[in-house]
A = this chain, B = another copy of it.
Amino acid sequence: MTEAATVRVPGGAQAVQRALDVLHCFHDNGPDLSASELARRLELPVSTAHRLARTLLGAGFLEQDARTSRYRLGPAVTELGRLSYHQRGLHLAAPELSDLAERTGATADLALRSGPHAVIVAGGSVTPKVGLRRPLHSTALGKVLLAWARPGEGGPSSLPPLPAFTDRTIVEPAAMEAELARVRDDAYALNDGESAYGVRTLAVPVLDGAGHARFALAVRATPEVITAARTEWFLVQARSCARALEVLLLSPAERRPPAS
């Protein structure tokens, strides 16, 4: 299992590509990694991994523990992250999400797409899973992001592995295509134990003017809370919140007309 998270572009880029892979390495694996661990994870010679790490260190994208000389994400990442967080207006979303969570008694999560993953960037729960990466094919958030995928982000065809987490996980590409058609028809996605048992999630898109999903909004709870009878009510709440987020997160130019 190589780190094929990013699309390999043909143009000259190997060194940069690898350096970015080093950074990407820090979600999946622990908060800090040694040079040789990096090399192993990325299947690179130690020498090369070490050089990349030193370069990232010099630019502030990594920092090194003085005692153990292990690497962890550096101040430049924190800085740029805060910047893009605010540029996307995500700090405006937090109150809306808390409100939704409180109103519904469920967990509310907002995710955006990052390559082949859905990434939760803001949450309205008490223990936010913010920063968490979820696969696209086995989560309600992911299915929404796939169903209304922006052009150029790659549709469901760009996800070869599709590992099964439970016996309900959809793994067949054809079944996934059918599921996405259903999601588009009903205008919401349901995840009923496809990534873990005992968790039911409803997700709706935050759409832009072109009809593509910029974000996905999820409401998550146990099946006892989100019963079939109450599903419609949860959807109304979620869609209302999604509508509010369209106004908060999208500039007027990219927003869709109010009466759509």
Contacts and interface: CB of A to CB of B under 8 A. Distances in A.
Interface of A: 6-9, 11-13, 15-17, 19-21, 23-24, 26-27, 31, 51-52, 54-61, 66, 72-88, 90-91, 112-115, 119, 121, 130-131, 133, 150-152, 210
Given A9-B55, A55-B13, A115 B76 contact: yes
Nearest to A81: B81
Copies in the complex: 2
Contacts of A83: 26-27, 73, 81, 131
Contact of A130 (B72, B82, B88): B82
Contact of A80 (B81, B91, B113): B81
Contact of A78 (B24, B57, B72, B84): B84
Given A16-B52, A23-B80, A81-B84, 6 more contacts: A13-B54, A19-B19, A73-B87, A74-B84, A76-B114, A81-B83
Contacts of A80: 23-24, 26-27, 73, 77, 81
B79 A85 contact: no
A50 B57 CA distance: 24
Contacts of A77: 77, 80-81, 84
A168 B121 CA distance: 42
